[in-house]
């Protein structure tokens, strides 16, 4: 295996498949390819992929179903590739668990930059592993949205460890995607201050988006989808939010700690 790990390309168009293979080889990955969805699932499984590019329009099963199956056993970074530029297609991909979404035709350097940005902020832990017992035991003592030390943020009955990239809620580990973890970390760091949608887009995109980069409505909608998924995993009551508050027209913040905390 190369230093960067394994990349799997699931793409039925031979020319695009060859292009993607070249991009990953030049970047330093070990690369495997598949022309169909079912084959792609097995290649990801047996090659222990770190990064997957996944075409939506595959000949046997579509990319969304492939992604659903991959997410049952793998926490690999998944970038969906499609010829559809409509926002609903992007939102469907993110809801299904994709980390990013690129419309064809794409620029190879853009894909490479996005993948590099994702890899610089690794996953919190493999989805197969339980949370560390020491973190789980500490979760019942949480009181404020401030770090107890340089690594662990404690807020109400939630603990986030940025070093192990693990999150524990009421003693149970939460399985968050990279984007969900990074958004929760950014909001906890803000300690109750509002994070704008543009700021959170940069959190999700990493250093691929510089401070003066254009932020599109689609980028902001993608953040909304990630926040919605995060709320669902936190078992948020939207009528009386206990975790994440929407500040209309601006962004999001952590809900204030009530007297009961």
pLDDT confidence bin for 208, thresholds 50/70/90 = very low
Vertex 154: Cα angle to 153 and 155 (nearest 5):
125
185 versus 132: the higher-pLDDT residue is 185
What value does the mean pLDDT take over residues 50-64? 92
Percent of the residues in the chain that have a pLDDT greater than 90, as a whole number: 33
Q: Give pLDDT, residue 41.
A: 96
Q: Give pLDDT, residue 86.
A: 64
pLDDT at 26 over 80: yes
Vertex 173: Cα angle to 71 and 232 (nearest 5):
65
- Would you tell me how many other CB atoms lie within 10 Å of the CB of residue 14? 10
Measured CA to CA, the distance from residue 154 to residue 172 in angstroms comes to 14
Overall CATH class of domain 6-119: alpha beta
pLDDT in tens, 115-161: 887 777 655 443 333 333 333 333 333 334 445 456 889 988 899 99
Residue 30 burial by Cβ neighbours in a 10 Å radius (0-12, 13-18, 19+): middle
54: nearest Cα among 74, 77, 25 = 77
What value does the mean pLDDT take over residues 164-183? 88
- Model pTM score: 0.60
pLDDT confidence bin for 210, thresholds 50/70/90 = low
169 versus 87: the higher-pLDDT residue is 169
In the chain, CATH 3.40.50.2300 sits at 6-119
In the chain, CATH 1.10.10.10 sits at 133-254
Residues in the chain: 261
pLDDT in tens, 88-108: 777 778 777 888 888 888 888
130 versus 247: the higher-pLDDT residue is 247
pLDDT at 172 over 70: yes
The CATH architecture that domain 133-254 belongs to is Orthogonal Bundle (1.10)
């Amino acid at each position: 295996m190369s230093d960067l790990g394994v990349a799997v390309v699931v793409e039925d168009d031979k020319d695009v498949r060859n292009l993607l293979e070249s991009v990953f080889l030049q970047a330093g990955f070990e690369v495997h390819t598949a022309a169909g969805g079912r084959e792609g699932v097995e290649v990801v499984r047996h090659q222990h992929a770190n990064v997957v590019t996944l075409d939506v329009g595959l000949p046997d099963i579509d990319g969304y179903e492939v992604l659903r199956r991959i997410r049952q056993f793998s926490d690999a970074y998944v970038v969906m590739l499609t010829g559809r530029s409509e926002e609903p297609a992007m939102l469907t991909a993110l809801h299904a668990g994709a980390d990013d979404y690129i419309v064809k035709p794409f620029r190879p350097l853009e894909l490479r930059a996005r993948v590099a940005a994702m890899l610089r902020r690794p996953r919190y832990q493999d989805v197969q592993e339980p949370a560390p017992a020491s973190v789980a035991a500490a979760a019942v003592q949480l009181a404020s949205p401030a770090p107890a030390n340089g690594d662990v943020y404690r807020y109400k009955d939630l603990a986030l460890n940025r070093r192990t990239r693990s999150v524990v809620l009421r003693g149970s580990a939460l399985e968050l995607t990279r984007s969900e973890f990074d958004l929760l970390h950014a909001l906890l760091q803000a300690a109750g201050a509002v994070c704008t949608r543009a700021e959170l887009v940069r959190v999700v995109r990493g250093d691929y988006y510089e401070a003066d980069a254009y932020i599109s409505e689609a980028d902001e909608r993608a953040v909304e989808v990630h926040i919605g998924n995060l709320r669902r995993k936190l078992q948020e009551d939207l009528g009386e939010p206990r975790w994440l508050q929407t500040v209309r027209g601006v962004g999001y913040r952590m809900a204030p700690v009530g007297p009961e905390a």
